[in-house]
Structure 1
Amino acid sequence: MRLAAPVAALVATAAALTPAVPAQAAAPTVKISRIWYDSPGSPDSGANSSLNGEYVQIKNTGRSAVDLSGWTVRDRTARADHVYTFGTFSLRAGKTVTLRTGRGRDTSTTLYWGRSGGGTFAYIWNQSNDTGYLRDARGRLVHSCSYNSARYDYKNC
């Protein structure tokens, strides 16, 4: 019985020094939560109201604010004008920011890509299938969301 206490102490110490192995990789705390790809109005018009009916939402599911300055959102195309780069912007814990395709005045909850005119070429998100990519300021992929259906107007990610 005299060995029970020292053995218990040794087991406790060993357990404390053993690194924890995560069961699976942690989900990103900032992610694309929705892509609304079928905006109202004529797709050929390129009207600002129709462009702003197309958007992507980014949600911070974490417990602290995340600095999105320099982060990017893009679609599947390799076109440089299909990349949005966040300026100075912090997304508070539990909050969502909506990034609209057209023009407007940025707020703490809504940002604007700044696209205009040009009919269908002004839109970012394809009507039937596309992928949205969210990358951090170092260019690392944080989250992506794909859709492949013209059956709905949006995709919850």
Structure 2
Amino acid sequence: MRPVPALAAVGTAAAVLLTLTPAAQAATPAVQIVKVYYDSPGSDLRSNASLNGEYVVIKNTTTKAINLGGWAISDKTGYRYAFQSGVALKPGKTYTLRTGTGNDGTSGVYWNRKAYVWNNDKDTAYVRRSDGKLIDSCPYNSTRADFTNC
């Protein structure tokens, strides 16, 4: 028995959708950039408070702790922060990298810079493993907000 052409087309379309759906869905990276606060509140005066108002938040999306030693966060122009060995990002937890100075702790670290990193209009944040492999990126191009959720 020959299939009815309309039903054959529907069956073929469904098979194509089933085939494309898994490939079309990008896997969530193990460490994901979830927020870039690129324009700290107030005037850009290079005060430590203003510098620390500029930050990047990353999240461990896996069920295992990830040792961030040697991993790096950078911007499009090449400013780069490398995590020290022993920094473990627990499963499902976030970690914040602030531009200015402060005391590193369990929820974040400080870049210890005296100048801003993230452009107020457009830039891209990258997170790379210790071997240099790109894990995630978050571009933004906005003058309407001070931050972007990635």
Give the TM-score normalised by structure 1: 0.78
Write the deviation string for residues 111-135 of structure 1: whole angstroms up to 9, x where unpaired: 100012xxxxx10000010000100
Aligned Cα root-mean-square deviation (Å): 1.3
Structure 2: distance between partners of 1:100 and 1:134: 14
Partner of 2:116: 123
Structure 2: distance between partners of 1:67 and 1:150: 35
Structure 1: distance between partners of 2:61 and 2:132: 21
Partner of 1:153: 146
Q: Which has the larger radius of gyration?
A: 1
Structural mapping, 1:68-87, within 5 Å: 68-78=68-78, 82-87=79-84
Partner of 1:33: 34
Is there any run of 5+ residues in structure 1 with no aligned partner, and where? 1-21, 117-121
Structure 2: distance between partners of 1:155 and 1:26: 21
Structure 2: distance between partners of 1:105 and 1:140: 28
Structure 2: distance between partners of 1:41 and 1:49: 10
Give the TM-score normalised by structure 2: 0.81
Partner of 1:66: 66
Write the deviation string for residues 82-105 of structure 1: whole angstroms up to 9, x where unpaired: 100000211000100010000000
Is there any run of 5+ residues in structure 2 with no aligned partner, and where? 1-20
